[in-house]
A and B are shown apart, each in its own frame.
Chain A
């Protein structure tokens, strides 16, 4: 019996085979996302070392072959792959490894970046306060903040593309629906895209 999660993994593998070419020769096969979601809470105050923030393999930022009819400058997030693509034109995209919403917190749709924020403040969600009542209800932005170095707000939703102080969560389904990148990557993306950028969120890539 093929379960939905297996289909997702097979789909990610198939897409990787089609869309990856000599631009990124070392990444001809994208490993399937972890079968088991990480059970990781936000951890305020942890400041990862540069070594910890250096991603390797498929999760490292890289230019890849990417065929799409979307115009350059468009962001395409493929949740099942754990990748965010910034379309460059000429069948190329910059690809970033991301962490996505855990099961039950994944979504799809079309949004625009409505606001950009350096070192965003963090407000733990109510359910997190229920579990960890000692947490501050507001933590000013800065190194160690769970939202990391930058945030790109998606339309009028509560969701954001943001950094993280937990680089080990990249490639996993851990969030409440936001998309997280390591800080160096989110700074890079932040500098490349303006407010108004189209963001397409897909559950799986379409062939």
Chain B
């Protein structure tokens, strides 16, 4: 129970941190934004790093069960790494090789993930449309890519990873 309480406090702290731009800015370690291309992100790269269950949907009615399915995909997690420049090592759409991408801030508190040499909201970006301590949701900016892959939900697998580590 004590562990659950500690986890709960950590989750609450994380959620509070997400709501405070200053807090997030302080902990952000993304590459410095290229001149005039995008603003400093309000989210920290660190909160995206790690293994995630990844699932997608096209119809909003499927969101709830897609979240459950994402959690169930932690046996084949999508792993986001931390790049040497503090960015996120992820795949662009249809690219089999990952690259270091930037977290990009934009007007209205929007956040994008994409190539460092493109402005926030560029055609290769995905927008982070929802984020919590244990999950985040993205949608591709390019309409064709968004149509093909739908809304993508990432659910953190860290708990499973810890459980596995305990057993081995």
Contact = CB atoms under 8 A, between A and B. Distances in A.
A205 interface: no
Contact of B55 (A45, A137, A142): A137
Nearest to A143: B58
Nearest to B77: A137
Contacts of B95: 134
Contacts, number: 72
A44 B148 contact: yes
Interface size class of B (residues with CB under 8 A): 20 to 34
A140 B58 contact: yes
B91 to A, nearest CB: 4
A131 to B, nearest CB: 7
Contacts of B98: 133
A133 B149 contact: no
A140 B91 contact: no
Interface size class of A (residues with CB under 8 A): 20 to 34
B54 interface: yes
B138 to A, nearest CB: 11
Contacts of B147: 45, 47, 144
Contact of A138 (B56, B96, B149): B56
A168 B113 CA distance: 34
A46, A135, A141: most-surrounded residue (chain B CB, <10 A): A135
B75 to A, nearest CB: 9
A132 interface: yes
Interface string B37-66: 000000000000000011111110010011
A47 B65 CA distance: 23
Contact of A139 (B53, B55, B91, B96): B55
B58 A136 contact: no
A136 B148 contact: no
Contacts of B96: 131-134
13 contacts: A43-B148, A44-B148, A45-B58, A45-B150, A46-B148, A132-B94, A134-B91, A134-B94, A136-B149, A138-B56, A139-B150, A140-B69, A141-B62
Interface of B: 53-59, 62, 65-66, 69-70, 72-73, 76, 78, 91-96, 98, 147-150, 152
Given A132-B96, A137-B78, 14 more contacts: A45-B150, A46-B148, A133-B98, A134-B92, A134-B93, A137-B54, A138-B66, A139-B56, A140-B65, A140-B66, A142-B58, A142-B62, A144-B58, A144-B148
